[in-house]
Amino acid sequence: MKITVLLENTTCRDDLKCEHGLSLHVETARHSLLFDMGPNAMFLENAAALGVDVAGVDVAFLSHAHDDHSGGLELFCKRNETAPVYLQKEAWGEYYVVTPQKCKYIGLDKTLKKYAGRFRPVEGHTVLDGELQLFSGGMGSDYWSHANDTLRERKGGDYPRDEFRHEQDLIVTEGGRAVLFGGCAHRGVVNILRRAEELLGRAPDAVVAGFHLFNPSLGASEPRELVEAIARELAARPDTVYYTGHCTGQEAFDVLRETLGERLIAIHTGSVFTI
């Protein structure tokens, strides 16, 4: 399968735009799929420059409701009038980032409900076909990232910590190769990986995801001890390669690479790779 990074925080080409967010295009023998739409129109502009036909995408997935992944969703629905968009049933919740300085809504724009006919709400484990399966929940909370602590869900007048019921992950299988795709891995990349292994019966050949080890609101990376523990867990899958960026953060990436070496690959806007 061919994977093209339409948007990430950084870029590897001067003619491509970048911003805090994520959007991936995946091409298989059966599908042209979109995984997340970034925060705005940049993913569309970059797709045109990269020769990716967004109008020809046949299925799309929203990893979770946060606006750095969903901000371009309406633009996608306008550009592509047929592809279903899979999202978790809890995606319409009231999601916020709360710090001592701000309380900002970062969930789905409610005007998107006018495209309700395009959306496919799911929960738990969903098999779409022989190539695609989605899953959410059914996992632990080991190696929990405190970068999640400022992410909240409004319930009445309270703002408890987000439980990420709106987050889902995608497994794409083609030609005997399996790739796990995640947006920010808010539930923890190790926990998500373990659940993917249960579904596959083995470790995936590759993981493409942000690991959420950096809090952009506070400008802080997770402690080295936590990142090293995660690195050891990931390294225990000797045949798995990890592609990461976005919310992983450079400091955590450098610590992970000390253990994972060449099996950890940074992604950028414009990165293209085949698995």
Give the tokens for residue 50. Answer: 């990269």
**How many CB atoms are located within 10 Å of the residue 10 CB?**
18
Distance CA 194, CA 187 (A): 11
Q: What is the pLDDT of residue 129?
A: 97
Give the tokens for residue 63. Answer: 């990893």
Which residue segments constitute the domains of the chain, with CATH numbers given? 2-274 (3.60.15.10)
For the chain, what percent of residues have pLDDT higher than 90? 98
pLDDT exceeds 90 at position 155: yes
Q: Are 152 and 164 spatial neighbours (Cβ–Cβ below 8 Å)?
A: no
Distance CA 198, CA 151 (A): 28
pLDDT exceeds 90 at position 217: no
Considering the chain, what is the average pLDDT of its residues? 97
In tens, the pLDDT along 77-88 reads: 999 999 999 999
Match 């599908």 to its residue by tokens. Answer: 31
State pTM to two decimals.
Answer: 0.97
pLDDT exceeds 90 at position 138: no
In tens, the pLDDT along 157-187 reads: 899 999 999 999 999 999 999 999 999 999 9
Q: What is the pLDDT of residue 51?
A: 98
For the chain, what percent of residues have pLDDT higher than 70? 100
Q: What is the pLDDT of residue 53?
A: 98
The average pLDDT across 248-254 equals 98
pLDDT exceeds 90 at position 69: yes
Q: Tell me, what amino acid is at 158?
A: D
Distance CA 172, CA 62 (A): 15
Q: Which of 37, 23, 169, 148 is nearest to 96 (CA)?
A: 148
